[in-house]
Amino acid sequence: MPQSRRGPPPPAASKSSSSSSRGKQSDRKKNTTTVSNINVNRNEAKNPKAAIDPRVLSQFKTILNTFQHTFSHLFDTPDLPQIIQSVKHSLYLRDYVAAFDSPEKLQAYVVRWSVARALAYFEMIAGGWWSDDVTRAFYTTPTIPAHSNSTTTPNGSSSSSSKGEKRLSITCIGGGAGAEIVGMAAAYSFLNPPVPDITSTEEGSQEQEEKDEGRRGLDLTLLDFATWAPITDSLYTTLTDPTKKESNVFLEKSGFSAKCHQQDVLTPLSDTTISSISSADIVTILFTAGELYSQSPTATTKFFMSLHALTKPGALLVVVDSAGGFEDLDVLKENKNNTATSSGGGGSKNSDSMGGYKLGFLLDKTLTNRDQWQTIASHDAKWWRVPQGLKDSSGYPLELENMRCLIRVYRRNES
């Protein structure tokens, strides 16, 4: 598959103008052009040695720095290779409870596997892999009345008395392992570069204030069955630390919140989970769908079917998974005696089982069969590769792996 050039520059801020509305129109025009350029660049590159935009390479490095600074104590731990091997063995057996049953294993998983995924998510969002709609959502600035009274809570969430304020809300199912919070924060900061300080004139000061008030906030809700909150809290602290903003991914607390909740989505959903999904502009299920199907095809199918009722019209659903690890899935069908069988679960396959569905087909059939969702991006096998330039210059002490991905993005229909 063609490899990305990894290259758009971030959308440029509009120049100072005597008309603020004129400036906003210019911003919107530049944003549209940027997405178009992303798509062109993405189709030009043929291999990981392709030239990388220096700004993109710099953002890749800040992602690595964010993980290294947050978990610096781990890299000097003599037991780290052994812990990683133990986690890897449990993952191979698809024993996710054993893989994540201690803080040490959670941290080892993050520094070994989440880092490359965070790099990939950043590029997939900034590069339009998940559709231009997703990319635009990360830098579209809504209309916000000036001088809105907003406050910031300790965890970074923002409240405002202005009814016009609209922050980008994303719920990440299976998103506790650190890749989502860092990758999405990196994409947001890249696509929304800091606004230059314009204070030389009263007119410039007013435009600066309008731009600051109009910047869209990013609110992440991370749902996972394991106890990932200490991991995401540590990463959030690093991401919002102004003393490290020159070397790490950085976002102001007033414009960025991240909350992690423990939730197995194959069990009854909590009120918090339901609320987060129903209010989300984007719901992501990244490298999780295949795992869910391997645990319980029936419960997973019911969960996907329930998303139409849980989400709001126009919401985007992003599913990314391994194109090889869960290539074929056995979907259970209860027989007349209400007993379920599955070849994947160690039982014998009988005439009542439905087997051999590919994940992409299964998702499409479940979600679009009743016209409840519209497919807006579809890739059955798309390679994301660590660029050679990053391998040569990053100094990251652990392996960063390429990944062959299945990608589906859906938009919820109105009815």
Distance CA 255, CA 250 (A): 11
- 348 contact partners, CB below 8 Å, separation of at least 6: 341
Residue of 228 and 157 predicted with greater confidence: 228
The percentage of residues in the chain with a pLDDT greater than 90, rounded to a whole number, is: 61
Provide mean pLDDT across the span 85-94.
94
pLDDT in tens, 369-398: 889 999 999 999 999 999 988 988 888 999
What are the residues whose beta carbons fall under 8 Å from the beta carbon of 403, sequence distance 6 or more? 116, 117, 120, 322, 383, 384
Write down the pLDDT at residue 395: 87
**Mean of all residue pLDDT scores within the chain:** 79
**Domains in the chain: boundaries:** 20-412
Q: Give the model's confidence band at 340: pLDDT under 50 very low, under 70 low, under 90 confident, else very high.
A: very low
Does the pLDDT at position 317 exceed 80? yes
pLDDT tens figures, 10-23 = 333 333 333 434 44
For helices 229-239 and 54-70, what crossing angle results, to 10°? 130
Alpha-carbon gap, residue 221 to 273, rounded angstroms: 9
Confidence band of 130 (pLDDT split at 50, 70, 90): very high
Average pLDDT over residues 399-409: 96
296-316 per-position pLDDT tens digit:
999 999 999 999 999 999 999
**306 contacts: CB under 8 Å, gap ≥ 6:** none
Taking only the tens place, the pLDDT of each residue in 237-288 is: 999 999 999 999 999 999 999 999 999 999 999 999 999 999 999 999 999 9
**Whole-number Å distance between alpha carbons of 173 and 267:** 13
* pLDDT at site 356: 60
The Cα–Cα gap between 341 and 391 comes to 45
CA distance 239 to 391: 23
What is the largest distance, in Å, between two alpha-carbon atoms of the chain? 79
For residues 270 and 143, what is the distance between their CA atoms, to the nearest angstrom? 33
- Assign domain 20-412 to its CATH superfamily: Vaccinia Virus protein VP39 (3.40.50.150)
Nearest to 67 by CA among 110, 104, 103: 110
Q: Which amino acid is at 88?
A: K
> What is the Cα–Cα distance from 95 to 97, expressed in whole angstroms?
6
Cα 224–chain centre separation: 14
pLDDT at 168 over 70: yes
Task: Please give the C-alpha separations between residue 141 and each of 132, 197, 283, in angstroms, as whole numbers.
Answer: 15, 18, 20
pLDDT class of 199 with cuts at 50, 70, 90? low
> Mean of the pLDDT values across residues 91-117?
95
Distance CA 159, CA 149 (A): 9
- Are 409 and 375 in contact, with CB atoms under 8 Å apart? yes
Q: How far is CA 134 from CA 24, 129, 187, 228, in A?
A: 20, 9, 11, 26
**Each residue's pLDDT tens digit, 47-82:** 656 677 889 999 999 999 999 999 999 998 999 999
pLDDT for position 350:
36
Residue 19: Cβ within 10 Å count? 10
Q: Are 271 and 179 in contact (CB under 8 A)?
A: no
